[in-house]
Chain A
Amino acid sequence: MANDTLTGAARTDAEISGLDALEIAGREKEVSRGARLWASTWPKLAALAIAIGLWQVVVWSGWKPPYSLPGPVTVAEELARQAGGRQLWDGLATTLQRAALGYVFSVAVGLLVGLAVARSKVLRAAIGSMITALQTMPSIAWFPLAILLFELSEKAIFFVVVLGAAPSIANGVISGVDYVPPLLVRAGRNLGARGLNLYRYVIAPAALPAIVAGLKQGWAFSWRSLMAGELLVVGISQTSLGAQLTYSRELSDAPWLLSTMIVILVVGLVVDAAFGAADRAIRRRWGVLDQAGQ
């Protein structure tokens, strides 16, 4: 005992740092940025190459005449020609503007409704399941009503985009708040977080991954609704991407049609990649991505 008392504190210090060093060692695995980028890029490139290859094979097989199904080279040439003109960019600008406006509004509505439902038992009982029902409603089914209400106008498209996206976002918020670990809430309360502070310091950050997932799904729904809307609600002065699809079909201009589809696909992919990056950043911070860590 006497020996221990003499060296007690110093010995404990040494033991602690030794134990920490042992525990931490080998946890960090450094992978260079380039290697990581390549590892995530090459499968995508390979899949793209295979898809284009299959497309070319189908064209060569003569399944459909070239004027209804042109090959990748023809479409690529058309796409390059379009990229040189104004029409594509004007259409893209119109569509993206509508998408942004509708999405931002959906986010505002979705966050507010989601938070209200998550907090209030009465609201949850009243409209909780209705939100999920709305989410399953195909957006195209809203258009007849939207056109009756707002005629063939921007408003009709906006209406359907918001109805398509807001429920997903609200559901993301609700499930995010529902799945906040109760232990973290208790810890937060013990540390002095009450009322709004509890939301600010504990619940909101803890729910963030689910909220981002809801935002991502909301984007997918709003983009789909927007495309459906633009296809149906043509005749407004501006030639959006959806309107260009309709025109190209009416003119039987298959290369134009396919190149417009590719643009739509690329926009979807770019936005999805942005959400993917946000999601990964969150998971890395939380330590869910780090396999060596757990």
Chain B
Amino acid sequence: MTSTTTPPQSATAAVALSGVTKVYGRGTNAVLALDGVSLDVRPGEFVCLVGASGCGKSTLLNLVAGLDRAQGGTITVADDAHPGLMFQEPALFPWLTVEANVEVPLKLRGLPRAERRERVAELLRTVHLSDFGRKRPHELSGGMRQRVALARTLALDTPVLLMDEPFGALDAMTRDILHDELERIWAERQLTVLFVTHNVREAARLADRIILLSSRPGRIIWSTEVNVPRPRRIDSPEVAAIASEVTDRLRTEVGRHGK
């Protein structure tokens, strides 16, 4: 098994993890979710974390988002930025309209009303939902809800976006379109994205760099730069070639647990 880790460049990294360890439970029931994970994400880089179940992908994002604490190691986000986190479910507030959902982070930051309204309109334009501001989440399709969630996360004005299988519950066509959308928004806003998925094609479609995590304990076992020019298509041969390489590695890793 080859292990290619990029040399540490913490000074310029947007997100820097160093020896991050996370244990769930205590005593004999303790599960080592992450074991000494070190990773530097360059500013503006799109990194996909791929791994089978139980590799601690989501744990990693929670740690970077500050929703959970690691037992060991350090996590640094450049300029102490507060990263935005998106989940597989949109996690919209069902009692609020689309507009009001997007407005929540702006309100929490204490922006004046006029500015909030302007920002909400701009964000809804960004995700092509200008006509749906007055709707409630339940009136929208899954893909539209996820776009509202993206707009709401972008309202944090954060340079770092953490995405936890955000398109996992969507149908293939919607997912393809949202890949295009995310790629556009990532480029326009020069975001740094840490994207968790178990869909290797998705990773090959989106990532500058794919990182493979092992399961129990979660360790970085392999990574590769994806040097396919953008915009990409998920069904292009270049993307497929990368995907099949990642799939092979992933299967080897999964097979290790089968004995």
Contacts and interface: CB of A to CB of B under 8 A. Distances in A.
A124 B116 CA distance: 40
A12 B180 contact: yes
A8 B231 contact: yes
A186 B233 CA distance: 33
Contacts of B113: none
A191 B105 contact: yes
Given A202-B93, A294-B138, A8 B108 contact: no
Interface in B44-91: 65, 67, 82, 84-85, 87, 89, 91
B166 interface: no
Contacts, number: 103
A16 to B, nearest CB: 5
Interface of B: 65, 67, 82, 84-85, 87, 89, 91, 93-96, 104-105, 107-109, 128-129, 132, 136-141, 143-144, 152-153, 155-156, 173-174, 177, 180-181, 184, 231, 233, 236
A53 B175 CA distance: 61
A293 B139 CA distance: 6
Contacts of B104: 188, 191, 193, 201
A260 B91 CA distance: 51
A4 B141 CA distance: 26
A13 B130 CA distance: 13
Contacts of B129: 20
Given A183-B89, A287-B136, 5 more contacts: A24-B139, A190-B67, A192-B156, A208-B95, A293-B138
Interface residues of A, number: 40
Contacts of A294: 138
A134 B138 CA distance: 38
A207 to B, nearest CB: 11
A293 to B, nearest CB: 5
A285 B107 CA distance: 21
A192 B236 contact: no
Contacts of B139: 24, 27-28, 287, 290, 293
Nearest to A191: B105
B173 A19 contact: yes
A131 B108 CA distance: 35
Interface string A195-232: 00100011001101000000000000000000000000
B180 to A, nearest CB: 5
B236 to A, nearest CB: 7
Contacts of B155: 191
A187 B152 CA distance: 10
A9 to B, nearest CB: 7
Given A24-B139, A24-B140, A290-B138, A16 B95 contact: no
- Residue of B84, B96, B177 with most chain A CB atoms under a 10 A cut-off: B177
